[in-house]
C-alpha cells in the first residue's frame, strides 16, 4: 500500500514526464507525430520489396505480416534503449529534487507506448489495402500488447539499473537487439526454420511469441498458447527481477551519475 500510495501521489509528474518525452522526440520535426505513421509505412515498403524479392514471396498480405512484426519490435527496441538511458539523462533533476526514480524508466516506456498505439492506425489502414479487415476478434490484441508493455518495462528496469554502473551496456544492448530482431521472424515466415531443427532459436525468444500471436490475431488464426504462456511468464518474472534490482540499487545512483 505504501508504494501504491506513493505512485498515486506522483501520478501527475508521471503524466508530465510522458508528455515531455513525446515533445522531445518530435522537437524541431516538421511532421511531428505524423512521422510515427509515415516511418513504419516507408520501412514496410522497403522491407517488402527487398525480402519479398529475396524470398520470392508474392503473398499479397506479406506487407501486413512485416508491418505487424516491425511495429512491435520497434516499440520494444526504442523503449528499452530509452529506459536504459533514463536515469543518466535525468541526472540533473535527480540531484536537485526527490522524485521516485522508477518514474523515469516508466515514463520512457509509456511515452513510446503511446506513440506505438498511435502507429497501429497504419496497421488498420494497410489491412484494408491488402484485404485483411478488422474484426471482433481483434479485441484479443489487448493480451499480447499488454504482455509486450510488461515485458518492455521489466527489461527496461534491469537495463536502467545496469546502465548506471556499466556505461558500455548501451552499446552491448544494440548488439543484443540485433540478435533479438533476427530471432523475431520479422522479415520472413518461420516455417522453414522450424522444420530445419532450429526451432529453439525462435522459441527461446519471448518477443517472438508476442509478435507471432499478434499476427495470429490479425490474420484470424488460433493463438499459440505455449509461446503465449512462455511470454507471460518471462514478462512478469523479468518485471519482478527488474523492480527488485532497481529498488536495491537506486540509492547508489546518485554516486554514479
Q: Which residues of 132-143 are buried (b: 16+ CB within 10 A; e: fewer)?
A: beeeeeeeebeb
Distance (Å, whole) CA 53 – CA 59: 11
Over the stretch 64-110, which tens digit does the pLDDT of each residue have?
998 999 999 999 999 999 999 999 888 888 888 888 888 999 999 99
> Tell me, what's the pLDDT at 192?
60
Q: For residue 150, give every residue at least 6 positions away whose Cβ sits within 8 Å of its Cβ, in sequence order, or none.
A: 235, 236, 239
Over the stretch 1-53, which tens digit does the pLDDT of each residue have?
777 777 788 888 888 888 888 888 777 666 666 777 777 888 888 877 777 66
**DSSP symbol at 222:** P
C-alpha count within 13 angstroms, C-beta hemisphere, residue 91: 12
Rounded (10°) angle between helices 225-249 and 142-165: 30
> Tell me, what's the pLDDT at 257?
75
C-alpha count within 13 angstroms, C-beta hemisphere, residue 168: 1
> Tell me, what's the pLDDT at 195?
62
Asked if residues 53 and 123 have their Cβ atoms less than 8 Å apart, the reply is: no
Q: Would you state the cell numbers that stand for residue 225, as one nine-digit string? A: 498458447
- Per the listing, cell 503465449 goes with 228
More confident residue, 190 or 62: 62
Distance (Å, whole) CA 206 – CA 186: 14
> Tell me, what's the pLDDT at 156?
95
More confident residue, 257 or 184: 184
> Tell me, what's the pLDDT at 41?
82
Over the stretch 158-170, which tens digit does the pLDDT of each residue have?
999 999 998 889 8
**DSSP symbol at 26:** T
Number of H helices, E strands in the chain: 12, 0
Amino acid at each position: 500500500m505504501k508504494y501504491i500510495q506513493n505512485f498515486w501521489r506522483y501520478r501527475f509528474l508521471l503524466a508530465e514526464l510522458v508528455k515531455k518525452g513525446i515533445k522531445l522526440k518530435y522537437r524541431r520535426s516538421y511532421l511531428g507525430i505524423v512521422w510515427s505513421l509515415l516511418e513504419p509505412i516507408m520501412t514496410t515498403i522497403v522491407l517488402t520489396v527487398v525480402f519479398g524479392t529475396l524470398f520470392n514471396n508474392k503473398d499479397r498480405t506479406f506487407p501486413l505480416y512485416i508491418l505487424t512484426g516491425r511495429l512491435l519490435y520497434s516499440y520494444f527496441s526504442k523503449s528499452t534503449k530509452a529506459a536504459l538511458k533514463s536515469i543518466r539523462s535525468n541526472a540533473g533533476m535527480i540531484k536537485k529534487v526527490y522524485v521516485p526514480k522508477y518514474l523515469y524508466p516508466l515514463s520512457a516506456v509509456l511515452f513510446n507506448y503511446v506513440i506505438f498505439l498511435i502507429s497501429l492506425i497504419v496497421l488498420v489502414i494497410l489491412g484494408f489495402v491488402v484485404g485483411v479487415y478488422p474484426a471482433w476478434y481483434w479485441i484479443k490484441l489487448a493480451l499480447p500488447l499488454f504482455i509486450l508493455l510488461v515485458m518492455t518495462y521489466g527489461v527496461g528496469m534491469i537495463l536502467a539499473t545496469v546502465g548506471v554502473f556499466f556505461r558500455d551496456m548501451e552499446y552491448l544492448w544494440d548488439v543484443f537487439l540485433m540478435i533479438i530482431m533476427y530471432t523475431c521472424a520479422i522479415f520472413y515466415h518461420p516455417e522453414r526454420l522450424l522444420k530445419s531443427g532450429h526451432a529453439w532459436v525462435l522459441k527461446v525468444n519471448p518477443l517472438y511469441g508476442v509478435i507471432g500471436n499478434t499476427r495470429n490475431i490479425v490474420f484470424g488464426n488460433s493463438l499459440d498458447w505455449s509461446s503465449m504462456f512462455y511470454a507471460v511468464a518471462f514478462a512478469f518474472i523479468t518485471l519482478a527481477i527488474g523492480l527488485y534490482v532497481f529498488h536495491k540499487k537506486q540509492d547508489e545512483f546518485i554516486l554514479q551519475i
